[in-house]
Structure 1
Amino acid sequence: MALFYHGLNRSELSLPYMSRALLLLNLSCGPDHPDIAATFVNIAMMYQEIGKMNIALRYLQEALKKNERLLGEEHIQTALSYHALAIAFNCMGAFKLSYQHEKKTFDILSKQLGEDDSKTRDAQNWMNKFKMRELQKNAQKQKDQAMNDASTQKAIDILKARPELIHAFQAAAVAGGPGTKSSSSNSSLNAALIGETLPRGRGIDERAARAAAGVRRKAAARGLLRPHGVQVQPLPSLTQLINIINSEVTPDAVENGDANAVKKEDSNDLPSSDATDAKNDQPSKPVEEQAPIGLGKGLASLDAKKRKSKSKAGA
């Protein structure tokens, strides 16, 4: 039944039957029997087809241990266990491990059957395939690394040419908080801009480059490192400061004068209309000049005393 469902590509339905067959084999033949190892290999192939590679590897490794213990390390069945492990590692992308296990298979088959046997030649062909795939994987990895380095350098050049982007990234990092990914990317960006992580070619003094990066880092920590194109706002001149002070003092003096006028009106018991009539009946007096702001009332009092003395002398 397990093989029937496996032929229909329904390996998930065949696994319960394989578990039942494995239980019956353990009861009838015992755990140390070669058929148990063969059943382990069949169960591993079914788990491999449904994508459960970790469980498949466990069954294949148990089958290899049983074959080595029961049949020997140079038996053909042991070679087939190595080949099954090589195929499993190939499905997982571990081509180096696939080549190593297939090399074991080739060594056993060439010793038992000879190098001219079809199974030995098949093992050699598998070795060549795994080796070629490993080389292609390494070449693709180097190509991706080169592309990443080029794109990183291009991004750094763009940011150096446009300092406003740096301020935008820093503002986003501050808004995101110290524990977010943006803060880590901001720190790496600042390190690249300071010159700590830039790739250097041959003929460049590493000590001088590290010293310059340290100076830039200290200047950035003190706030002395400014990007190009940022203008520093100049301090206001002395005349502007004096005008600001005078503009702040004048309204206070006006408010004080209004308050004194209100107090004088409150001191009079006459209503507002009578007060206006009384003012019209009284002779007009010369308007006293207001004392300069900040000099007090000393000059104004002196002028009043002079006028009183003149009036007495005329009388």
Structure 2
Amino acid sequence: MTDTDKGAARPRNAAEPFGTLAWDEFRLVKAVADARGLPAAAAALGLDPSTVFRRLKQIETALGTPLFERHRTGYTLTPAGEEIAALADRLANDITSVTRRIVGRELTPAGELRVTTNDSLLVHLLTPLFARFAVACPDIRLEVILGNQALNLSKRDADVAIRATDQPPDTLVGRRAARITWALYGRAADYPEPDGIRLDDLLAAARWISLGDTLSGLKAVKFVASRVAPERIVYRVNSVLGLGEAVEAGLGIGHLPCFIGDARPSLTRLGPPAPEFGTDLWLLTHPDLRHSPRVRLFLDFLAEEIARRRDFIEGNRAPPA
């Protein structure tokens, strides 16, 4: 038997194909599995769908087995695909865990810091603080990710989360920086003498603005839903920042955090702050990152700056100059 014959007769090791897959291939399979289709997976990977389709076929050819069943409703994992996707999950978690630990052991506060928060906190509170931080710590570059959804700090979607919540995730650590107080606001031109206004009169006759269903868990939204007649709610918007704009435009009255309402000279309070609508302002990070010099420096800086503005945030005085 020739050497060539020996090579042809040798059975292929079933584990060999796994050794030929690079991390990018595992990542591609995981993206298709998560998205259950090519367009969304391609968007997540920054590729076009035809490239994802071609590379997926190459992976399946290398493994000698299909990883997905193609249906009109989307892509479904085969048993082999489930094993590859599960392995990809474990690899992603291991890579992220090692990265977090390395970042947590950095010696000097430098590099990029990813911060997630929402638009109303960014515009009315945080941007000036971020500017002061950039001057004080020029070696740290901030990347801000806007959104109300909870990003996965365990996977380093962000390094720090600044959130208004009464129930911060158990998987994160941090500090309560202040209590965000809410009050009812209207346009000052429409209510030149707000001190004599009764809430019952506003409930009966005023035009109201409310936040949308995506923020229905907020206490102020629940109040409007339970106390204001549906026909009196003339406008809904799924952004606290957008609600402030709508009140300022004269569409109606609505509840706002005091640090937003009091910062707008054209608005006036139509009642005292409502402590029962308040939420805590939290500065959060992952446990593996809390000892990172840049994370610790950033959190300490923000906590000190927010403490100086606590009375304003909690509705006890006018905004700082």
- Work out whether the TM-score is over 0.5: no
**Which structure has the highest helix share of the two?**
1
Bigger relative contact order, structure 1 or 2 (CA pairs below 8 A, ≥6 apart): 2
Higher gyration radius (CA)? 1
**Which structure has the highest strand share of the two?**
2
TM-score for both structures, normalised by structure 1: 0.19
